[in-house]
Amino acid sequence: MKAIVCMKQVPDTESRITINPEKTGVEQGDFSYIIGPYDEYAIEAALQLKEAAGEGEVVLLSVGDPSIKSTLQKGMAMGADRSVLIEVDSYNGDALTTARLLAAQLKTMEYDIIFFGKQAPDDNNAQVGPMVGQLLGLPTVTAIAALEVQEGKAVVEREVEGGREVYEVTLPALLTTEKGLNEPRYPSLKGIMQAKRKPVDLVSGEVAAATTEQLTWSYPPSRAEGKIVGEGTAAVPELVRLLKEEAKVL
């Protein structure tokens, strides 16, 4: 079982976001970086398939600058065998640009299955996976919450409003992962040591012009300072009154 996981390095979800004085982006300086939380489900799914098959390979693939190496190592510490880093400069993270870079590289690689996270928490795009699927002409299912692979086929489920859609696709296929699919493992000490010796191959990519342009960044309007209505059950009548008269929601 050969699985490729496309993985994005993102700022830790606890990070404070500071918009730069020009309002053209955020200050990068003080972030600590992690594997995208949805990408961890993708890595775990790939590792489980390889383990179940008893043979194969899990390869991590990422677009970015060389600083991503340390985040790729975290994925390899979980158990991935090696990484490929598509190095680019002057790259603004445009989803279609990323998808084209990944698709071009994937065409040169061997795989039975490609995993993506459902969404990167920084850009909130949820696009790169299905775009790559379309570019490569692969059966693609997004935001999967259940997966079963047998004899060249995958049966997957994705959550939709009010239910679950079930798909059966033939491999090779591309899947993007949702929370609930599995519990990502923590790297073991041995895994962390081994990861240092696992290869990260650098390849270069051509960046095409982006089709969207970011104008200005801002902070969302802050909520008005809340008020404490009171303590315990004694505060309930006043809360009900406020909900009725002020908020008009009852």
Partner 1 sequence: MSSILIYLESHDGKLKSNAAEVATAGRKLATAQQKELVAVVIGEVATDELGNWGISRAIRLSGGNLADYSGDVWAAELAQLVSDQQADTVLMMASSQGRDLSPRLGALTGVTVIADVISLENQDGTTVGLRPVFANKAQVLVRPTGELAIFTLRPKAFTPEVVEAVATTVESRSAAALDALAIVRELAVAAGAKIDLTEADVIVSGGRGMGGSEKYDILEQLAEKLGGVVGASRAAVDAGWRPHSDQVGQTGKTVAPTLYIACGISGAIQHLAGMSSSRFIVAINKDPEAPIFKVADYGIVGNLFEVVPALNSAI
Ligand X SMILES: Nc1ncnc2c1ncn2[C@@H]1O[C@H](COP(=O)(O)O)[C@@H](O)[C@H]1O
Ligand Y SMILES: Cc1cc2nc3c(=O)[nH]c(=O)nc-3n(C[C@H](O)[C@H](O)[C@H](O)COP(=O)(O)OP(=O)(O)OC[C@H]3O[C@@H](n4cnc5c(N)ncnc54)[C@H](O)[C@@H]3O)c2cc1C
Q: If binding is defined by CB under 6 A, does position 13 make contact with ligand Y?
A: yes
Two tokens, residue 60: 């991590």
Q: If binding is defined by CB under 6 A, does position 11 make contact with ligand Y?
A: no
Closest CA relative to residue 53, chosen from 149, 196, 159, 180: 149
Taking the complex as a whole, how short is the minimal distance between the CB of residue 49 and partner 1, in angstroms? 18
Buried b (16+ CB within 10 A) or exposed e, 219-235: eeeeeeeeeeeeeeeee
Q: What CA–CA distance (Å, rounded) separates 16 from 78?
A: 27
Looking at 2-10, 141-149, 153-161, 232-240, which segment touches ligand X (CB under 6 A)? 2-10
Q: If binding is defined by CB under 6 A, does position 191 make contact with ligand Y?
A: no
Looking at the DSSP assignment, which residues form a beta bridge with residue 82? 59
With CB under 5 to 8 Å by kind, the binding choice for 157 among ligand Y, ligand X, partner 1, none is partner 1
Given the complex with ligand Y, which of 151 and 231 has the nearer CB atom?
231
Given the complex with partner 1, which of 81 and 93 has the nearer CB atom?
93
> How do 57-64 and 82-87 pair as beta strands?
parallel
Show contacts with ligand X in window 57-76 (CB under 6 A): 62-64
Show contacts with partner 1 in window 70-129 (CB under 8 A): 94-97, 99, 121-129
Answer yes or no: are the C-beta atoms of 209 and 92 closer than 8 Å: no
Q: What CA–CA distance (Å, rounded) separates 129 from 141?
A: 9
Q: If binding is defined by CB under 6 A, does position 123 make contact with ligand X?
A: yes
Q: If binding is defined by CB under 8 A, does position 22 make contact with partner 1?
A: no
Looking at 59-67, 72-80, 81-89, 234-242, which segment touches partner 1 (CB under 8 A)? 234-242
Task: Please give the residue whose beta carbon sits closest to ligand X in the complex.
Answer: 117
Q: Is 35 helix (H, G, I), strand (E, B) or coil?
A: strand
155: Cβ–Cβ under 8 A, 6 or more apart, which residues?
Answer: 147, 148, 166, 167, 168
Q: What CA–CA distance (Å, rounded) separates 19 from 23?
A: 6
Q: If binding is defined by CB under 6 A, does position 120 make contact with ligand X?
A: yes
Taking the complex as a whole, how short is the minimal distance between the CB of residue 151 and ligand X, in angstroms? 26
Q: If binding is defined by CB under 6 A, does position 126 make contact with ligand X?
A: yes
Two tokens, residue 212: 């969207």
Taking the complex as a whole, how short is the minimal distance between the CB of residue 183 and ligand Y, in angstroms? 13
Q: If binding is defined by CB under 6 A, does position 37 make contact with ligand Y?
A: yes
